[in-house]
Chain A
Amino acid sequence: MKLTEQQVTYVAGLANLSLTKDEVSRMAHDLDEILTHIDKLNELDTTGVEPMAQVLFDAEETASMRADIEHQPLGTDVALANAPMKGSGHFKVPKVIER
């Protein structure tokens, strides 16, 4: 096994994802299978190959710049419209600091 249930629980913590006991064992099995397949990449010698982070195209160095023109933002009410809990122009979350 490449991945123990303990490791799955640790990674779920990093991802802020609660998983049930059943999900943890299923996940350990699935990820193990996928990671075993992924190991195939180690067959390849990639020494000296630059990592490709993005598809690049020919353009001026400044091609991604835009004119600095003032524009109207969405505004607080619109930005908050989909929030599950809000008040006084803010998103509301459970208390994190004791007074």
Chain B
Amino acid sequence: MNVAQLSITAIRDGLISKQFSATELAHDTLRFAEAENPKTNALLTLTTDRALAAAQKVDEALARGEDPGPLAGVPVAIKDVIVTKGIRTTCGSKLLEHYIPPYDATAVIRIEQAGGVIVGKANCDEFAMGSSNENSAYGPVRNPVDLERVPGGSSGGSAASVAQGTSVVALGSDTGGSVRQPASFCGIVGVTPTYGRVSRYGLVAYASSLDHIAPFARNVKDAATILQVMAGRDTADSTSAPAPVPDYAAALDGNVKGMRIGLPVEYFNGLSAETGDPLHAAVDTLRKLGCEVVEISLKHTEYAIPAYYIIATAEASSNLARYDGVRYTTRSAESGTLSDMYRNTRGEGFGAECKRRIMLGTYVLSAGYYDAYYIKAQRVRALITRDFTEAFQQVDAIVAPVSPFPAFKLGEKLSDPLAMYLSDIYTITGSLAGIPCMSVPCGATSAGLPVGMQILTKHFDETGMFRLAHAYEQAGS
């Protein structure tokens, strides 16, 4: 069977009609991954034993005539910043080369309870810091669409795995666009739910007020299915929301007639033709579906990048203090004194991007700068959030680009960190506001590189976001 083409629905149908067993599907996927993964370096670890054990459980449930769960037999890849009990979790860092977590993330537990089969751990930028997946200590990931190009980051391995077919759905993490941007680069669906919609328990912290566990899929329905499984209150994460989780699948009815769509002028002014043309064509499709399209303004957009890179790095400098050579990291050989141990373990262990963000974060939090930078950025964050709140009084959803450009060549932007940061402009605003946002494929550039359309809705309105994305997907671009 061609594992690279399967959807969750097709797998379910295949299992129930006994065309294949979950164990056969797991074997086929793992064989396919062994053969194909070296081309992209998307997966760092194949979790063969765990996959086969989970598949066997599904087959046993089916044999007993039980419902094997909404993700029955579905091969899932997990970004290596999400902990898996007994399975090495590196965070793309040399520091955690040998780290074997003693527990599972809540999202991982829920996926397996729903019948999901975890087949591998996905490569990523070190501690989820990066926009190209070139910051991994285990080598860059290559985009399956064009192996000379990056898959985006920081969840580049998860995106590449789903696009390549070594998994059907995958978990990434999104702090400032780390799921939406790679989804757009690889031509798949990436969903960042409302902040707090999915438990972060077991997600290695980068910037706690912005971090999300967020899924990738090859179609909107699959994305809705895996989010459904993960969403909902978890007592292990006090920031997880108690709000009830609606039935997302019920929203996929194609009915978007009369839906009001806002196009933020700040996002479309100056957009290049290669990204803009497919997006404008997509907006035309939405109009044909009966949506009412209006221009809106999100006037603080230009301040999002500086606000984000203060807040995120400040939180990161604090969160990354724990990698000190004592509890779970490797330890420097130059550890004569306690202070040398800390300094050298971290100096040798962190890559350039992590060091840059730790330094920036430490600087903006340091005495005399805290109010000028950190508090100022938090005030600007409030203004950016207010822009969205006001916009959603006029419109049901916002449609925007995901990235200013499509997948770029490996090494092309590595030497200019600021330019790399600036490329996050369209995804960072939604992250700061904590609203649901997703990237859905909307065609390609003239060179054939995938382009994504971003859909943003108000807090906890994943339903509206999925409805619009699904209707667009079904209409075709």
- A residues apposed to B, CB below 8 Å: 3, 8, 11-12, 14-20, 23, 27, 30-31, 33-35, 37-44, 46, 49-55, 57-60, 63-64, 66-67, 74, 78-79, 81-85, 91, 93-94, 96
Contacts and interface: CB of A to CB of B under 8 A. Distances in A.
B355 A40 contact: no
24 contacts: A11-B362, A15-B359, A16-B342, A17-B347, A17-B350, A17-B355, A18-B343, A18-B346, A30-B417, A31-B360, A38-B373, A42-B376, A44-B383, A50-B379, A50-B382, A51-B381, A53-B209, A57-B459, A59-B241, A59-B242, A66-B235, A74-B103, A94-B335, A96-B338
A51 B402 CA distance: 27
Contacts of B100: 81-82
A93 B326 contact: yes
B68 interface: no
Interface stretch (B167-175, B255-263, B305-313): B305-313
Contacts of A83: 326-328
A39 B241 CA distance: 35
A26 B239 CA distance: 38
A31 B359 contact: yes
B443 interface: no
Interface of A is mostly: loop
A89 to B, nearest CB: 14
A55 B343 CA distance: 34
B376 A31 contact: no
Interface in B357-386: 358-360, 362-363, 366, 373, 375-383, 385
Contact of A15 (B195, B358, B422): B358
A78 to B, nearest CB: 5
A33 B387 CA distance: 28
Nearest to A54: B209
Contacts of B342: 16
A17 B306 CA distance: 24
Given A55-B195, A57-B460, A19 B355 contact: yes
B346 A49 contact: no
Contacts of B310: 38, 41
B421 A34 contact: yes
A19 B302 contact: no
A19 to B, nearest CB: 6
A29 B103 CA distance: 41
A29 to B, nearest CB: 10
B420 to A, nearest CB: 11
B321 to A, nearest CB: 8
Interface string B314-345: 00010001001111111100011111111110
Given A17-B347, A52-B379, A84 B329 contact: yes
B418 interface: yes
Interface in B277-311: 300, 302-303, 305-307, 309-310
Of A8, A14, A33, chain B has the most CB atoms within 10 Å of the CB of A14
Contacts of A41: 303, 306-307, 310, 376-377, 380
Nearest to B375: A51
Leading 4 A-B pairs by shortest Cβ distance: A55-B434, A18-B347, A51-B378, A84-B331
Interface in B160-218: 194-196, 209
A27 B360 CA distance: 9
Given A40-B306, A57-B459, A91 B331 contact: no
